[in-house]
Amino acid sequence: MPKVDYIEMAKALGQKQELPLPVEEQDLFAQIWDISSEYTSTFDSAKSFEKLSAAIKAPKRSNRNYIWVAAASVLLIIGVALFNLLPNKEASFATLKGEHKTILLDDQSEVQMQGGSELILDKQFNNETRSMHLEGVAFFDVAKNPEKPFIIHTKRGTVRVLGTSFTVHAEDETQRFAVDVYEGRVEVKNDQGAEVLTKGMHLEMDKDGQMKIGSTNGLLHYTIDQFVFVNSRVADIVKEIENKFGVDVNYDQSLANQKITLKTKAKTADQLLRILSGTLDSEFSTSKAP
């Protein structure tokens, strides 16, 4: 069998050139190299090549020994890369309709998620910034850290804070976007501009992206049973009730686009629907969600 120069082979792998190997050995090394790149988006082929080359410069025995030395070296590089990546792994949290979940983040901030919500932390969360993506409804009690802004991205706007407590409504299905602030200052920004909210302020964004500022009407501390809607569509209110309590709401669909303001506390869906029924002089009822 002709002698194979594995240093040249490693160079060819790093430069994506044709491998100077028999076909069966080409496949083996190509698979090892491909697997290594799949396990990390920060795979450094140059550094990996240096380590691989050093490992290949072992006492000369046989071609088979060279292959296993090289393979073991690449696997070692994969292991080190995976270990370094684990702290930056993207984390996600989700709740089903009617489910509530409390999460303590790495920076000691607390998130209370309502039903039908999803929160995805960026891979570099708590490095230079504390960034995440939200779909649904969640209350945030943010640990203060002026050097690491806390940023919540949604499809309709971005919420940026340094340390405060507030609720974000960012529901994809209804396109409702609202923010209630209980402590501190919050900046809300979209393509049309930015607004700064302070304690006791409520923001509601309409379908055109216009932001309207109101009051939380004395609701200065978050509780799971509070509801604040300012000039909101009945359909949006109903959808939040369905997600929060895990029910289906039956009502006159001709009311869906009617807008009302509702600020109240209620521990059950029935309590809320009685308020809606009295406000709109129409029947609202529930059935168990499938």
Statement to judge: residues 154 and 60 lie in one domain: no
59 occurs within a structural domain: yes
Would 1 be classed as within a structural domain? no
Amino acid 41: pLDDT? 43
- Same domain as 263, residue 181: yes
Region of 280 on the Ramachandran plot (φ > 0 left; ψ -120 to 50 alpha; else beta): alpha
**Residue 12 forms part of a structural domain:** yes
Q: Which of 4-13, 68-77, 272-281 is predicted most confidently?
A: 272-281
Task: Tell me which residue range forms the domain holding 174.
Answer: 90-288
Q: Assess whether pLDDT exceeds 90 at residue 93.
A: yes
Are residues 111 and 189 both part of a single domain? yes
> Count of CB atoms within 10 A of residue 250's CB?
13
pLDDT in tens, 43-89: 454 555 555 555 555 455 555 555 555 555 555 555 544 444 444 55
pLDDT confidence of residue 1: 47
| CATH number, residue 257 | 2.60.120.1440
In a domain, 230, yes or no: yes
Domain end point (choices 59, 86, 113): 86
Residues 100, 38 contacting (CB under 8 angstroms): no
Q: What is the pLDDT of residue 98?
A: 87
Percent of the chain topping pLDDT 90: 37
Residues 106 and 81 in one domain: no
Distance of CA 257 to the CA centre of its chain: 30
What percentage of the chain has pLDDT greater than the value 70? 64
Is residue 42 predicted with pLDDT exceeding 70? no
Q: Strand, coil or helix: what is 60?
A: coil
Q: 216-249, pLDDT tens digit by residue?
A: 765 555 555 677 777 788 998 898 888 888 899 9
Select from 42, 68, 86 the last residue of a domain: 86
Counted domains in the chain: 2
Query: Could you tell me if 192 and 97 lie in one domain?
Result: yes
Identity of the highest mean pLDDT range in 23-32, 107-116, 239-248: 107-116
Residues 159 and 179 sit within 8 Å (Cβ to Cβ) = yes
The amino acid sitting at 45 is S
CA-based nearest residue to 180, from 209, 217, 231, 129: 217
Q: Is residue 35 part of a domain?
A: yes
For residues 159 and 284, membership in a common domain is answered with yes
Average per-residue pLDDT in the chain? 77
Same domain, 148 and 235: yes
Residue-level pLDDT at 82:
46
* Residue 81 belongs to a domain: yes
Compute the average pLDDT of residues 180-199. Answer: 92
What confidence category does residue 196 fall into, taking pLDDT thresholds of 50, 70 and 90? Answer: very high
pLDDT one-digit tens code per residue, 137-179: 999 999 999 899 999 999 999 999 877 889 898 988 888 899 9
Task: Tell me the mean pLDDT in the region 81-103.
Answer: 73
Under the banding of pLDDT at 50, 70 and 90, the label for residue 120 is: very high
Is 60 exceeded by the pLDDT of residue 255? yes
Beta bridge partners of 101: 113
pLDDT of residue 9 exceeding 80: no
